[in-house]
Structure 1
Amino acid sequence: MENTTRTPLPMATTGCACCAPTPDTTSAAGQEVAGAAGTPAGASTYRVEGMTCGHCVASVMEEVSALDGVTAVDVDLVANGVTTVTATGPVSSNTVRSAIKEAGYTPTD
């Protein structure tokens, strides 16, 4: 067996909204992305900053998936960048934004 050095996975940073909330009220996070490429019919995509780990993704997916009318949720995580959350189904954008807030994020218009 080879003796190799393993690099540990990075831990959640203080900017992780699910592990250590640090709301940023000055950013444009949480804005709906109109006509995002590859978005299925009946889907809306939202921009969210501050998601850094799988736990962040799971928190948002759990809240948005629980909404009446949501048939699918897709999260494209960009750690320390702008993550996109796509909700498919007949649900209002205000309802999705509220669910994102419930998960620990503050979407802005």
Structure 2
Amino acid sequence: MQTVTLKVEGMSCGHCVNSVEGAVREVGAEGKVNLSAGEVTVAFDESKVTLQAIKAAIEEQGYDVA
């Protein structure tokens, strides 16, 4: 299991938190958003999902992953 913290730009409310955490969950990872820091901490199994797939899922929701 790998844990990574990603900087996510464009999050500003509870809906944003739900969108990002839901997108991460859909690709098979677990994410916890820190809204005030503009970050999401993601835990995932590298044998099941790639970091690139997680970033793409977040970006599909309309947010920028730095």
Q: 1:83 aligns to what?
A: 38
Larger relative contact order (CA 8 Å, sep ≥ 6)? 2
Q: 1:100 aligns to what?
A: 58
CA drift of 1:101 comes to: 0.8
More helix by share: 2
Aligned equivalents of 1:106 and 1:77: distance in 2?
Answer: 14
Gaps of 5+ in 1: 1-40
SS in 2 for 1:100: helix
Aligned equivalents of 1:49 and 1:106: distance in 2?
Answer: 5
SS in 1 for 2:64: coil
Aligned equivalents of 2:17 and 2:57: distance in 1?
Answer: 13
Question: After TM superposition, what 4+ stretches of structure 1 lie above 3 angstroms from structure 2?
Answer: none
TM-score by length of 2: 0.81
Gaps of 5+ in 2: none
1:67 aligns to 2:27 (yes or no): yes
Larger Rg: 1
Across the two proteins, how many residue pairs are aligned to each other?
Answer: 63
CA drift of 1:55 comes to: 0.3
Seq. identity, %:
37
For 2:9, which of 49, 58, 66 is the aligned residue? 49
RMSD: 1.5
TM-score by length of 1: 0.52
CA drift of 1:107 comes to: 2.3
